[in-house]
Structure 1
Amino acid sequence: MTHDTLTIRIESPDEFFDDVETDLRQLDRGNGPEAKRTLSLPDEAALSRVLNTKNVELLRTIATESPASVRELSRLVDRDVKNVSTAVNELESLGLLDLEPDGRAKRPTVWYDGIDVELRLHSDETDDGSAGAVS
């Protein structure tokens, strides 16, 4: 069985763009960048919003039950359709799920079977060798 994992990491916009520049330099040298399935978030608050208990329940239910529509998903989790629809649209905008047209409905799907979270507990060291401040 193939395991596809989404990595969610907290990184500043500068760190994100540094990673993009590294990938572009590799492309310029004729090397393809390492395949990454990563969602970058700016801070812990964003991580908390994305992976709150209700959203994780939605993602797990989509992965295990394969609901045919957002309405069916809302029945499976016993929540209001409007609230589930709002959450599903936010998760789709972040790339955490896909909404596939299926007749008049849209079927929520996930392409991964696990999520890894990268969370640094300290910042990189500064030029003088001392630990930098965490903001």
Structure 2
Amino acid sequence: MTTVTLSVASREDVTQRALAAFGGEAQGAHISFASVELLWQTLTKKRWEILKIMTGQGPLTIREIARRVDRDVKAVHGDVHALLEAGVIDRTDEGLVVFPYDAVHVDFMLKAA
């Protein structure tokens, strides 16, 4: 099973993880956001629904995603493109979209202001 960790991480954290990976330490798949606010701005409720139905499903058309989430194709198209631009999902050579993970782990800490 391939799990991706969605996290809030500083540039320093990401650099440390990359250096460890270059040193041969397995890091697993990570998608990092600079802040909790950016994570929630990117992963809105409707986009989270899209990720949920794409998890473990392989490449899909936007029309099929819209059918599975029971939403208008045009609205789903906008959300899919936002996820593509954020680097959360990928496009295949055939033009389909894919979230190539079987599970998602979300990891961030809320600290006192």
**Structure of higher RCO (CA pairs closer than 8 Å, 6+ residues apart):** 2
State the percentage of identical aligned residues: 26
* Maintained 8 Å contact 1:62/1:110: yes
- Residues 12/70 of structure 1: CA separation in 2 closer, same or farther (3 Å cut): same
The aligned residue for residue 99 of structure 2 is 110
Segments of structure 1 that go 5 or more residues without pairing to the other structure are: 123-133
Task: Please say which structure displays the higher CA radius of gyration.
Answer: 1
Segments of structure 2 that go 5 or more residues without pairing to the other structure are: none
- Residues 61/44 of structure 1: CA separation in 2 closer, same or farther (3 Å cut): same
The number of residue pairs the alignment matches comes to 113
Q: CA deviation at 1:97?
A: 1.8
1:1-135 map, 5 Å: 3-20=1-18, 22-23=19-20, 27=22, 31-63=23-55, 68-102=60-94, 106-122=95-111
Question: TM-score, normalization: structure 2?
Answer: 0.77
Task: Quote the RMSD (CA, aligned, Å).
Answer: 2.6
Question: TM-score, normalization: structure 1?
Answer: 0.67
The letter for the 2-side match of 1:60 is K
Corresponding residue SS for 1:79 = coil
